[in-house]
Structure 1
Amino acid sequence: MKKLLFLAVMSVLMISCNEKKKEQEKIEKDPNLEIHEKIAMANGFEKFDSVSKIKFTFNVKVNDSLRSERRWTWNKNGNTISLTEKDSTMSYTKKDSLAKDKEYIDQRFVNDSYWLLFPYQLKWSDADFSEAKTANAPISGDEMQMLTVSFPSEGGYTPGDSYDIYFDDEFMIQEWVYKAAGGGREMATTWEDYEDFDGVKISKMHKSQDGSFELFFTDITVE
């Protein structure tokens, strides 16, 4: 009986692995997809269309001190967003025109959701993309593919920002370098601890090279 159960489990795992391999090969060989689109697709961009609600907690730790802890609920169907922070809950409906008193929550949602779903922003946002090239990643030093993503100099909360993203052969981001507009500050972090939420793949941990900075997600649910 145990042997039969083991074989059944192994069969399910093998089928799942084969399906993922076929999906990966389909993305790699699709001549109609550009590199940035392949990254989005590898992270489950198509699966996200069927998501109705996503919850997550955005955390920032600096030198073992928790600096931010924001709990979000995003109902995609009505595009309503709620933030719970320091025992206070605020909500708004995301639309083109926002009241001044809602800009505080919207700025933070844009920042936090960019970290959570940045691969999808490669499809959603009006960004420019460089040609992909081989380069050494800033933290690991490993040789990877690198693509620079540049956002317009006008519009949004942080216009003119850019990112150098380093990704593996499966089009999954492993590291990136954030570059503020106008030659301002730069920050390199890892993309690690990926989890698959029914096809939506999320990196739950981002660390600086010395580990003094950690940005991570907890309490993630995808419905």
Structure 2
Amino acid sequence: MTKYFSACMLFTILFIGCKETKKAEAPQPQKELSILEKIAHANGYENWNKVEELKFTFNVDRDTSHFERTWIWKPKTNQVTAISAKDTLVYKRKDMDSTAYKTNGGFINDKYWLIAPINILWDKNGSTNELTPNAEAPISKKPMQKLTVVYKQDGGYTPGDAYDFYFGDDYLVKEWVFRKGNQEEPSMTTTWEDYTEAGGLKIAKMHQNEDGSFKLYFTNIEVKTN
């Protein structure tokens, strides 16, 4: 009787132990990503915390003119090095004088062109967004999804501006429209093309308008990770 009782107890303990193990190993349901998160992750957002330094040259060709400037950004310390044909300036974004503040406006602009799909996730508390599942892309005329991001009126270098991002099922931006002050008419419309991968980030190197008279592109892209 004692042996029978002991065997029953052992079986019960093992049975409970197996149930607890299975319960502990049961996969947890994953939270559905927001549209901002889906676009950011398509561009390598999950690798951003590994980025120690991001270097890039911002270029603009308009008809026969050319403009360029180079940036070196250390996001963990928010140190920025601005390199132009005239001089080089190093500053911390948390401690800027008037000169650095003016220069930082250029950095904000150029960085936004470089990684806007990630930037819109960072800016979610200072903006509103609306998804249109079926829309016609302005340049290619192809059917795409459209995400409209409108920045709030207070704060930032260009308050109240709006951006329309056009993308497919892969959530990579193919075209966009900039609308100054959230006006109805486009202020600028360009492509997002020639994607490259650097440090786990996906970056569109080329942006151009419909007739190619305006080209904004990136060269010397370097990403150092830990």
1:136 partner amino acid: E
Q: Which moved more, 1:106-115 or 1:195-204?
A: 195-204
Distance 1:65 1:101 in 2: 26
TM-score (norm 1): 0.82
Match of 1:98 among 92, 96, 99: 96
Measured at CA, do residues 34 and 104 of structure 1 come closer, stay the same or move farther in structure 2, by a change above 3 Å? same
Measured at CA, do residues 176 and 113 of structure 1 come closer, stay the same or move farther in structure 2, by a change above 3 Å? same
How far 1:87 sits from its partner (Å)? 4.0
TM-score (norm 2): 0.81
Distance 2:218 2:146 in 1: 25
Structure 1: unaligned runs, 5 residues or longer: 1-28
2:83 partner amino acid: T
Distance 1:130 1:84 in 2: 37
Structure showing greater radius of gyration is 2
- The runs of at least 4 consecutive aligned structure 1 residues that moved more than 2 Å come to 29-32, 182-185
Match of 2:32 in 1: 32
SS in 1 for 2:181: coil
Structure 2: unaligned runs, 5 residues or longer: 1-28
Identical aligned residues as a percent: 42
How far 1:200 sits from its partner (Å)? 0.5
1:166 partner amino acid: Y
How far 1:122 sits from its partner (Å)? 1.8
Distance 1:72 1:100 in 2: 19
Match of 2:9 in 1: none
1:210 aligns with 2:208: no
Written as runs of structure 1 = structure 2, the 5 A alignment for 1:131-142 is: 131-142=131-142
Distance 1:182 1:115 in 2: 18
Query: How many residue pairs get matched?
Result: 193
8 Å contact 1:35–1:132 — kept in the other structure? no
Q: CA RMSD in A?
A: 1.6
Written as runs of structure 1 = structure 2, the 5 A alignment for 1:116-155 is: 116-125=114-123, 126-155=126-155
Distance 2:198 2:56 in 1: 12
